[in-house]
Amino acid sequence: MSGSEPCAVLSFFSGAMGLDLGLERAGLEVRCACEHDRHAQATIRANRPALPLLGDVAALSAADVLAAAGLRREDVLVVAGGPPCQAFSTAGKRRSFAEARGNIFLKFLEIALDVRPPFILIENVRGLLSAALCPDADGDAGRPKTALLHVLDTLRAGGYAVSFNLYNTANYGVAQCRERVVIIAARSGTRCPYLPPTHSESAALRSAHNLLAWRTFRDATEGMPAPLHHVAFAAKHVPFYRMLGPGQNWRDLPEEHRATAMGKAYNTSGGRTGFLRRLAWDRPSPTLVTSPAMPATALAHPVADRPLAVEEYRRLQGFPDDWTVSGALADQYRQLGNAVPVPFGEAIGRLLLDVRDGRSVAVIPDFPYSRYRDTADEAWEQAARQKG
């Protein structure tokens, strides 16, 4: 690769390869994958049989990964990965770096900084923005109190400028409102701009900035090939789904049925919008979870009395219909639910290539990248360090 600009990617926590496939579509070359889960390994082998595939990141060094890929450090443009998110998820126990999965995040940073590519790319859940560094324990004096501040300090100590934001993937051509943190660390010392949106919910923004409308569930699933493979809802819930139309949930049931339908959850607090939820045809899907039949996060088809099928998951995440996802049905849902949407990965790849090649990147002031406030790097970090 000498004599040309590097475009090789070393992929970690590759999963079903959503990020990898998106980066490839942008023009990058994934040269090595690292994945510990055996079902995801089978998915990678089925779709990329010639791609070097390594296992447990904890047992690897930068030299191991470079050797497997057949690359020198100067050949690598990006080290990319989405370290396991459960340690940071707002739905989990949020043990952060106190968990083994959290410590794998630190191992990934160690390898990435040893390779020292022009870009280090990290994708993670929104919970990373509020995860403590080590819950239930006092850190040393001066130690940052949040996991993300520790990540930022580590990258900067390695000589990288860092930018991040929380992004709704619907703004990048994904038929799904899925919000994820993307961190881009640049060896050049210049902060990368935010990902330029290609789509918007706002008609005014679309008109002013030549953006497209959000893609909908109908757009993504039109012409689904048969057969479809899916789990089933509990039999006791099916009669209630039959009372609901597209875009409705338990609150739209006749009042006399709500308490029975919800059971113990009826008297709990919160919006509970995921209970007995049918997707709307003409909106993006909510965030795909690792099972569409869980009571509190149900993902029912707009009209069929069933959860979404794995084939619909694949479409909503932007994978091609012929992308093999290995394992039992539950394994396929889990891999697809955890994946980075392919069009979102492509948007990231385009930005990295634009920055590498010195092309200007469009900036839309005050664009609503997500539904949350103060999630962009500068505002978030200022508030976080004031608290710490």
The residues annotated as belonging to the active site are 85
Number of DSSP helices (H) and strands (E) in the chain, helices first? 13, 9
3-state secondary structure of 186: strand
- Label each residue of 274-294 as H, E or C: CCCCECCCCCCECCCCCCCCC
Structure tokens given for 212: 């497209």
CA 305 vs. chain centroid, Å, equals 28
The position carrying tokens 């493979």 is 229
Q: Rounded to an integer, what distance in angstroms lies between the CA atom of residue 79 and that of residue 172?
A: 22
Closest CA to 8 of 73, 67, 59: 73
Structure tokens given for 97: 């770096």
Contacts 24+ apart (CB under 8 A), 289-296: 289/337, 290/333, 290/334, 290/337, 290/338, 291/231, 291/330, 291/333, 291/334, 291/337, 292/230, 292/231, 292/333, 293/231, 293/232, 293/233, 293/234, 295/237, 295/265, 296/265, 296/272
Q: Phi/psi of residue 186, each to 5°?
A: -115, 125
Q: Rounded to an integer, what distance in angstroms lies between the CA atom of residue 316 and that of residue 314?
A: 6
Q: Rounded to an integer, what distance in angstroms lies between the CA atom of residue 44 and that of residue 52?
A: 10
The position carrying tokens 């994708």 is 123
- Label each residue of 237-269 as H, E or C: HHHHHCCCCCCCCHHHCCHHHHHHHHHHHHHCC
The reply to whether omega before 227 is within 30° of 0 (cis) is yes
